[in-house]
């Protein structure tokens, strides 16, 4: 580990807990260190497990005006900040440090607060509150937290700058991470392109629904896959959780030819193949309306964009979805079904030219090098730390 820079901590603030890692920086890139801390928000008063968020429409109306926090929001936010402080204090080494933070929700204009959140409290002064709380504990930062990032952007940053990142050696790539939700990242023309900058021509995975009006995120996320299995098996989500029946166990049941599990992964394979194909086709030739939007009022994406004609070097699948795909390889259940269906969609496409098809197909089958599985552990926390370190180096 290099010693000519401050301690770097990357933090992933989830829906129920905060996870933080010390990030090591070497001449070859960044890696997760050996030191990790995690805290559950509900362990910190005055957290309320029955907290009800403010109506999302009210939240959205207040984004560009004055955000009026309710007392329950203030209490919930206070508990979350306390969990962050405890997590960071366990990693603090006594010298000023750099911290990067990823959080869900829509951010404030300065990027340092949470202005809207579907399942949690708004915390518009999050970074100020956290910095003040850390300071009162005698914990020093080299610089203020420059922004709250998103899981998706931080997964992309991790793939670009981590020692084992898969974006770093390619020119054009798409990343799909599946964990609690679905995270998209893009690298085009050699540069990371946040999907907030492509909203005029590309929808994020979580924004889209299939022909049955089912959110595509369901087929990429751990909870979504579990919910599909619940539907086919007739077993409640509560029972599945109690018996620790998560996607990895459901995959084992599919390999053992259990019918509900087989149906689950048939759905997952088909919808993931169509999602990946939509990415390939939209980047190459523009939006065609293959999927609908969750928000019916969302502006229809343009079929024109500045990357038309781009052929992806690879598609990276990360987080728990990547691990699930890797585990399934050779079983005939998920990996083979997904790649066969994606190959067929590419073969049948009338919007991909012969040059694109020859890049994506080898001997009439999907190019075996197209889909790559990310090995990055806790990618959002890793990306958060890298982002903070890169921003610190600019100052």
Between the CA of residue 360 and those of 30, 168, 367, 371, what are the distances in Å? 31, 20, 5, 10
Q: In 3-state terms, what secondary structure has residue 189?
A: coil
Q: Domain of 228? A: 166-373
180 and 136 housed in the same domain: no
115 and 195 housed in the same domain: no
Inform me whether the pLDDT recorded for 2 exceeds 60.
no
Q: How many domains does the chain have?
A: 2
DSSP 56: H
193 and 341 housed in the same domain: yes
What count of Cα atoms within 13 Å lies in the side-chain half-sphere of residue 357? 15
pLDDT per position as a tens digit, 147-206: 999 989 999 999 999 999 999 999 999 999 998 889 999 999 999 999 989 999 999 999
- 158 found inside a domain: no
Residues near 365 by Cβ (< 8 Å), separated by ≥ 6? 339, 340, 343
**Residue 330's domain is classified under what CATH number?**
3.30.420.40
- Residues forming beta bridges with residue 188, ordered by sequence position: 191
Separation between Cα atoms, residue 182 and residue 104, nearest integer Å: 12
- 159 found inside a domain: no
Confidence band of 3 (pLDDT split at 50, 70, 90): very low
Q: What is the mean pLDDT of residues 11-15?
A: 91
pLDDT per position as a tens digit, 265-324: 999 999 999 999 999 999 999 999 999 999 888 899 999 999 999 999 999 999 999 999
Separation between Cα atoms, residue 218 and residue 267, nearest integer Å: 10
144 and 247 housed in the same domain: no
Mark 294-307 as b/e (b = at least 16 C-beta within 10 Å): beeeeeebeeebeb
177 and 202 housed in the same domain: yes
What pLDDT, on a 0 to 100 scale, did the predictor assign at position 14? 87
146 and 174 housed in the same domain: no
Q: In 3-state terms, what secondary structure has residue 309?
A: coil
What pLDDT, on a 0 to 100 scale, did the predictor assign at position 392? 85
Cα 225 to its chain centre, rounded Å, is 16
- pTM assigned to the model: 0.91
240 and 368 housed in the same domain: yes
Cα 130 to its chain centre, rounded Å, is 23
Average pLDDT of the chain to the nearest whole number? 95
Confidence band of 1 (pLDDT split at 50, 70, 90): very low
Separation between Cα atoms, residue 275 and residue 290, nearest integer Å: 9
What pLDDT, on a 0 to 100 scale, did the predictor assign at position 4? 61
């Amino acid at each position: 580990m290099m010693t000519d820079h401050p301690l770097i901590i990357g933090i992933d603030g989830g829906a129920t807990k905060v996870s933080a890692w010390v990030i090591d920086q070497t001449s070859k890139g960044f890696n997760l260190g050996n030191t990790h801390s995690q805290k559950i928000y509900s362990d910190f008063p005055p957290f309320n497990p029955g907290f009800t968020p403010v109506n999302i429409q009210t939240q959205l109306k207040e984004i560009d005006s004055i955000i009026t926090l309710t007392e329950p929001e203030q209490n919930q936010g206070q508990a979350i900040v306390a969990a962050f402080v405890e997590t960071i204090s366990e990693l603090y080494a006594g010298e000023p440090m750099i911290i990067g933070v990823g959080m869900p929700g829509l951010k404030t204009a300065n990027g340092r607060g949470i202005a809207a959140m579907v399942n949690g409290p708004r915390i518009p002064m999050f970074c100020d509150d956290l910095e003040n709380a850390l300071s009162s504990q005698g914990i020093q930062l080299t610089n203020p937290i420059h922004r709250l990032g998103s899981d998706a952007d931080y997964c992309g940053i991790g793939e670009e700058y981590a020692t084992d990142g898969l974006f770093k050696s390619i020119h054009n790539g798409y990343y799909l991470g599946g964990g609690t939700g679905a995270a998209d990242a893009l690298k085009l023309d050699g540069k990371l392109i946040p999907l907030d900058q492509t909203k005029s021509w590309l929808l994020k995975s979580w924004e889209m629904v299939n022909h049955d009006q089912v959110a595509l995120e369901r087929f990429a996320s751990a909870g979504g896959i579990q919910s599909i299995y619940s539907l086919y098996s007739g077993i409640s989500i509560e029972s599945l959780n109690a018996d620790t029946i998560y996607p990895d166990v459901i995959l084992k049941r599919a390999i053992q030819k259990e019918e509900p599990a087989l149906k689950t992964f048939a759905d997952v394979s088909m919808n993931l193949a169509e999602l990946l194909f939509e990415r390939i086709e939209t980047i190459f030739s523009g939006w065609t309306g293959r999927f609908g939007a969750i928000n019916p009022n969302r502006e229809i994406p343009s079929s024109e964009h500045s990357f038309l004609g781009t052929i992806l070097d690879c598609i990276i699948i990360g987080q728990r979805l990547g691990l699930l795909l890797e585990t399934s390889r050779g079983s005939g259940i998920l990996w083979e079904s997904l790649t066969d269906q994606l190959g067929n969609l590419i073969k049948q496409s009338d919007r991909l030219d012969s040059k694109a098809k020859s890049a994506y197909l080898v001997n009439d089958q999907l190019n075996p090098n197209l889909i790559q599985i990310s090995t990055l552990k806790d990618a959002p926390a890793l990306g958060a730390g890298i982002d903070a370190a890169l921003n610190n180096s600019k100052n």
